[in-house]
Amino acid sequence: MTEPRRAVAYPGQETVLTVTVTNTSDVIAGATVRFLGADASWVTVDTPTLRMFPGATERAEVRVRLPEGVPAGERQMAVQVTALGEGGLTSVEEVTLEVPRAPRVDARLEPATVTAGRRAVFGVVVENTGNTTETSSLVGSDAEGKVRFGFVPDTFVLAPGEQITTELRARGRRPWFGSPAVRPFELRIAEPRGDVATGRRGGRPVPDGADAHAPSVASDAPPPAAIGVLVQRPVFNRGLMSMLGLLVAVSVFAVVIAVALTSVVNRSAADRDLALQVAQARAQGATTGTSSVAGAVRLLSSGEVVAGVAVEAFDAGDPTRALATTATDEAGAFELSTLAAGEYKLRFRGAGFSEVWYPSSPSAEQAQSIDLGVGESATGLVVLLGGVPATLSGLVVGADVAGATVQLELPMEEPDIAGAAPAATSGAIVRSVPVGADGSFRLDDVPSPNVYDIVVSKPGFSTQVQRVDVAAGELRAGIEIRLLEGDGTISGTVVGTQGPIGDATVIATAGDVTVRTVTLTDGDVGSFTLRNLPTPATFTVVVAAEGYSAATLSLDLAAGQALTGVSATLGVDSGRLGGMVSVTPSSLGAGGVGVSVSDGARTWQTVSQSAVSPGAWSVSGLAIPGTYTVTFSRADLASQIVSVSLDAHGSVTSGAQRADRVNAAMRSSTAQLTGTVSQTDDRGVVTGPAPNVTVTLSSGTAQYEVSTASTPAAQRGRYAVDALPPGTYTVTFSRSSTASRSSIVTLAAGQSAVLDATLASPASIRGKVTQAGAGAAGVVVNLYRASDYGTAVGPVASTVTTGAGDYVFPEVEAPQHYLVEVRLSATAAALATSAVTTVQNSQALVVDVALPSP
C-alpha cells in the first residue's frame, strides 16, 4: 500500500511517499521496492530491500525531489514491490504527482547602457525560467516619460527553459545644449493586451511610435525585469558651447557688471522685507506640517541599496533652498516628515554619484512634483543613482597573450577584503572582449558605480581574476593582469583495498586555478594525469570515488615540473559483509536462510539466495570500524551466530577470513527417516519391494503418515519422512491383508536414519476340487464374500482348476468371511459350495471342495 497516492510535488523540494508491505506467507520473505516513471537521480528509497518474518509488516519511504524546470502538470508514476525468490509476485500501484504552475520570465539587457543621440538600440535576452509555456511581451517605462520604446518582435511564446533575443529600440528627444541627458528606464514582463500585431490596445489605434504594450504599473508592482540607461548626447556639445560662451562673455562682461551693480543699489527695503517674510513662513511651514515622503535609493547598475545619500525637499516653485533634509540609512531608506501641505521636488546627492531630481531628472526644471495634502504621505518612492558609464582599459602580460579573452563579470559573492586575491567567479558576464596582439584590452560603456571581476582566460593557461571597484563615470586605465602558462603536470594512480580504482575523480586546486580529470577504466586502470597546471604553485588534490572515502593530498610543483608516481589510496566509505550458507553433511548451498547483522544499535537483514547462487548473501552500508553479530536462521536449521570485526578500511580483523567469506555450515534442526519395505510369500521367501504400504510415525499426539512408492521401478517400496522433530517414534508398517509390523526408533536433530521392514505374505485361499476321489480339472472356482452370496453381487475372484484339480487365490482382503463355489463352466449351475470360512491377515487358508459323483 502506498500513501499518499496523489500528492503535490514542488520542484526542488522533497515529496515523501510511504510504502507499506506485509508478509502474508508462513516463511521469512523479502521484497524489493522500486519507483517507476522518474529519473533515478530524482528518487531515494531509504530501504529498497525489505526482510520480513511471517505476518510482519515493514515500511519504506520513497523520497522524490523533482528538479527545477520540470513542466507543470500531472505526472503518472508508480511504486513496484517485487517478492524475492523464484516466481516472486509483483505488485504495482500508480502514484500521481502534480507539479503546480510556477510561471517566471526573466530578462536582461545587453548592453545595459547605451550612449547615443536621438535613437538607441539595446539587445534584450528573455528566458522562460518557469515551468509553463508563457505568452508575454515586454514593456518599457521611464519616470520622466521622455523615452518611447519599441520591441522587435513585440510578443513571444516561450516553452520552459527556452530563450529569445529581442531588439529594444529606444527613442527620445535629445537635449540641445549642456551635459548628456541620463535617462534610466525599466523593463517589465507583461501579458499582451489586445491585438498586438496590429498595434491596437483596447480596440483603438495606437499612434505610430507609441508603446503598444505599456500597462499602468501599480505602486505595488514587482521589481522590474531589467534596468537600463539611455545616455543622450546634446545636439551642441560642451566644447563648442564653451568656445561660444567665451566670446560672448568678453563682449558683455562690462554690461553684466553694470546691471548687477544697478540691481543691488536699486533694491528697495520693502523687497528685502518681503523676501524675509516669505522665507520665514516657508521655514515655519516645513517644520510644523503633518505630511511626509518616504522611499529608497538604489544603485542604477546593480539595484543594490545606497546608504548616506543626502535627500533634500524643495518647494516646487523655488528649487533653490531646501526646506527639509535627511540622509538614507544602511538599508537605503529615507523619510522626510513634518512637511506642510503643498507641492515639493526632491533632490538626491551622494559622493561619486550624479545629482538626481526625483524620479530621475538631471535638473529641477524636469523634475516631477509631489503634491501632498494635509496629513498625506507619499511612500514607496524609488530613486536610482548612477553616473556616466565608465571605461576600463589595461594590458594582459605574459609569454603568449594572443587569443586570450577578457570578461567583465559581476561577482557572485561579497567583495573580498582589500588586498586579498578574489576567487574565480562564475557571475553574470557584463562585457567580453578579445585581447589584442599586444595584450591591450578596453571595456567601454561599463555601468557604474559597481564592483566587478576582470577575468582573463586562454586554453592552456590558468584563469586569472582581478577585482576592481569602479566609480561613477570613471576612466580607469593602466590595469595590468599577468597570464600564467600552465606548464606543470601531476600524474599517478588511485588504488583501493581491492586494487586500482577506475572512474575516480581527481581535482587539483591552487588559488583560483582548478583542474580536474578522472582515472582510466581500461588499460592502465586507475591512472590519471593533470595537465596545464601553472607553476610554481602548491596544489590541493582531492581524490574521490563512489563507494570510497575521499583522500586529500598537498603537492608542491616547481617551475615547469612534471610530478609523477603520485599514489592515492582510498578506503571504503562503508563496510560490507557476505559469504555462503550451506547445509551439512551435503555441503549444498542453503537458500532462504535469514541473515541478521547487528552492531547493537542498528540491524541489517537479508536472505540467502535460492536461485542464481544458492546460499550466497551480502550486506553493505555498514559503519566502519565496528564489530558486528551475524545470525543465521531458518525454521528447519539450527541457528548459528558469528561475531566479525571490521577496521577503518573495511577489512576483517577477527571472526572470519575475509569480509566476503563469512560462511556458515548449518545442521538441520529436524531429522529424517527413510527405508524400504519388502514382502514375503506364504513360504517366507522375500518376493521383492512392497508398494502402497502405509508407514505411520507416532510420538505423543504428533503423527506422520506416508506410503511406499509404486513407481518408478527403482523407487518401488521406498519411503521418506522429512522435517521430523527430534524424539522417539513408533513406526508402523501396514498393508491390506497383511499383518502389520511396528518398530521404535529414536531420532536426533540433523540425523538421517534408515529403517527397513519386511512384511509377511498377504492372506490367500487355496485348495483342491475332487470328484469321485480324483482331481477335477478345468472347473470354474468362484470366491464370494459370505455376505454377498445369493445376491446380485458377483464373486470377488474367479479361477479355473489345474489338471490336478488345484486352485489358488493368492492375495485376498483380510480379515473377511468367504465361501467357495464350483461350477462346470461360468454359465453352468453351481455344483458345490464350501462352508463359510474366515481369513485373517497373512493367513494361507486351505479350502477343499468335493463334487458329487456324476
HSE of 561, CA atoms in CB hemisphere, 13 A: 14
pLDDT tier at 282, thresholds 50, 70, 90? very low
Residues 581/593, Cβ–Cβ less than 8 Å = yes
Q: Which of 275-279, 304-308, 638-642, 665-669 is predicted with the least confidence, judged by mean pLDDT? A: 275-279
| Cβ-based neighbours of 179, under 8 Å, separated by 6 or more | 234, 238, 362
What topology is assigned to 105-197+222-232 in CATH? Immunoglobulin-like (2.60.40)
| Residue of 231, 254, 268 whose CA lies nearest to 360 | 231
pLDDT computed for residue 388 by the predictor: 65
User: In the CATH scheme, what architecture does the domain 671-759 have?
Assistant: Sandwich (2.60)
Distance separating alpha carbons of residues 428 and 411, to the nearest angstrom:
8
Please state the three-class secondary structure of 489-510 as a single string.
EEEEEEEECCEECCCCEEEEEE
Classify burial at 577, counting beta carbons within 10 Å of its beta carbon; exposed 0-12, middle 13-18, buried 19 or more: buried
pLDDT, position 211 = 43
22 Cβ contact list (under 8 Å, min separation 6): 52, 55, 56, 57
What's the whole-number average pLDDT of the chain?
82
Q: Show the cell assigned to 477.
A: 586605465
Transcribe 621-671 into DSSP letters. EE-SSEEEEEEEEETTEEEEEEEEEE-TTS-EEESSSSTT---EEEEBSSE
Omega of the bond leading into 234 within 30 degrees of 0 (cis): no
The alpha carbon of 299 is separated from its chain's Cα centroid by a whole number of angstroms, namely 40
Task: Work out the pLDDT band at 246, boundaries 50, 70, 90.
Answer: low
Q: What is the pLDDT of residue 506?
A: 92
The percent of residues above 90 in pLDDT, for the chain, comes to 32
The H or E element that residue 261 is part of is helix 238-266
What's the pLDDT score for residue 269? 41
Which phi and psi angles does 442 have, rounded to 5°? -150, 130
Fold observed for domain 575-667 = Immunoglobulin-like (2.60.40)
Whether residue 412 is predicted with pLDDT greater than 90 in this model: the reply is: no
What three-state secondary structure class fits 182?
strand
Q: Which residues of 673-710 are buried (b: 16+ CB within 10 A; e: fewer)?
A: bebbbbbbebeeeeeebbbebbbbbebeeeebeeebbe
Q: Per residue in 791-814, pLDDT tens?
A: 989 999 999 999 999 999 988 999
pLDDT exceeds 60 at position 421: no
520-531 mean pLDDT: 90
CATH fold match for the domains 671-759 and 764-851: yes
What's the whole-model pTM score?
Answer: 0.33
- At residue 387, the pLDDT reads 64
390-482: CATH number: 2.60.40.1120
Beta strands at 671-680 and 752-754: parallel, antiparallel or unpaired: parallel
- Other C-beta atoms closer than 10 Å to the C-beta of 535 total 21
Model pLDDT, residue 486: 74
The pLDDT assigned to 822 comes to 94
Question: Which residue did the predictor score with more confidence, 335 or 572?
Answer: 335
In angstroms, the CA 285 to CA 245 distance is 41
Q: Can you tell me the distance from the alpha carbon of 514 to that of 486, in angstroms, rounded to the nearest whole number? A: 11
Residue 280 has a pLDDT of: 42
Segment 649-660 mean pLDDT: 88
Instruction: Using pLDDT thresholds of 50, 70 and 90, give the confidence band for residue 519.
Output: very high
- From 2.60.40.1120, 1.10.260.40, 1.10.10.10, 3.90.320.10, which CATH number describes the 486-569 domain? 2.60.40.1120
Closest-CA residue to 480 (of 564, 397, 381): 397
Domain covering 287-386, topology? Immunoglobulin-like (2.60.40)
What average pLDDT score do residues 731-740 get? Answer: 90
User: At residue 779, does pLDDT exceed 80?
Assistant: yes
End-to-end distance of the chain based on CA atoms, in angstroms? 91
DSSP string, 30-48: EEEEEEESS-GGGEEES-S
Say if residues 378 and 345 touch (Cβ distance below 8 Å). Answer: no
Task: Write the DSSP string, 670-731.
Answer: SEEEEEEEEEE-TTS-EEEE-TT-EEEEEETTEEEEEE---SSGGGTTEEEEEEEPSEEEEE
Please return the burial class of 712, using the count of CB atoms within 10 Å of its CB with bins 0-12, 13-18 and 19+: exposed
Least confident segment among 172-176, 332-336, 384-388, 775-779 = 384-388
The tens digit of pLDDT for each residue in 690-716 reads: 999 999 999 988 999 999 998 898 999
Residues 833-847 have pLDDT tens digits of: 999 999 999 899 999
Q: What is the mean pLDDT of residues 242-270?
A: 46
Average pLDDT (100-115) is: 84
Reduce the DSSP state of residue 189 to 3 states and report it: strand
Q: 623: closest CA among 695, 572, 698? A: 572
CA atoms within 13 A on the CB side of 219: 5
Cis peptide before 415 (omega within 30 of 0): no
The architecture CATH gives domain 764-851: Sandwich (2.60)
Whether the CB-CB separation of 311 and 346 falls below 8 Å is answered with yes
- Specify the pLDDT at position 312: 94
Residue-level pLDDT at 535: 81
**CA–CA separation, 597 and 655 (whole Å):** 13
pLDDT band with cut points at 50, 70 and 90 for residue 143: confident
Domain definitions of the chain by residue range: 2-99, 105-197+222-232, 237-265, 287-386, 390-482, 486-569, 575-667, 671-759, 764-851
Question: CB pairs under 8 A, 24+ apart, for 407-411?
Answer: 407/431, 407/432, 407/454, 407/455, 407/457, 408/432, 408/443, 408/446, 408/452, 408/453, 408/454, 408/455, 409/452, 409/453, 409/455, 410/302, 410/450, 410/452, 410/453, 411/451, 411/452, 411/453, 411/467
d(CA 812, CA 764): 6
**Amino acid in the structure at residue 285:** G
249-260 mean pLDDT: 45
Distances (CA, A) of 249 to 234, 245, 330, 686: 22, 6, 46, 152
Q: Which residue has the cell 601531476?
A: 490
The pLDDT assigned to 720 comes to: 94
Least confident of 404-408, 472-476, 515-519, 785-789: 472-476
User: How far is residue 750's CA from residue 670's CA, in Å, rounded to a whole number?
Assistant: 5
pLDDT (mean) for 171-193: 78
SS3 61: strand
pLDDT at 437 exceeding the cut of 70: yes
Residue type, 116: A
> Cα separation of 313 and 395, whole Å?
46
The label of the residue with cell 530501504 reads 47
The per-residue pLDDT for range 551-601, each reduced to its tens digit, is 899 999 887 788 999 999 887 778 889 999 998 877 889 898 999 999 988
Query: Can you give the pLDDT at residue 254?
Result: 44
Q: What is the pLDDT of residues 149-176, one digit of tens each?
A: 998 888 888 877 778 888 888 988 888 7
CATH number of 2-99, picked from 3.40.50.1860, 3.40.630.30, 3.30.360.10, 2.60.40.10? 2.60.40.10
Calculated CA dihedral for residues 59, 65, 71, 74, nearest 10 degrees: 10
Question: Given its phi and psi angles, is residue 846 left (phi above 0), alpha (psi -120 to 50 degrees) or beta?
Answer: beta
pLDDT digits (tens, 9 = 90+) for 34-88: 888 777 788 899 888 888 888 888 889 999 988 877 788 888 888 888 887 655 6
Torsion region of 269: left, alpha or beta (phi above 0 gives left; psi -120 to 50 gives alpha): alpha
Q: Is the pLDDT of residue 364 over 80?
A: yes
**Between 750 and 639, the higher pLDDT residue:** 639
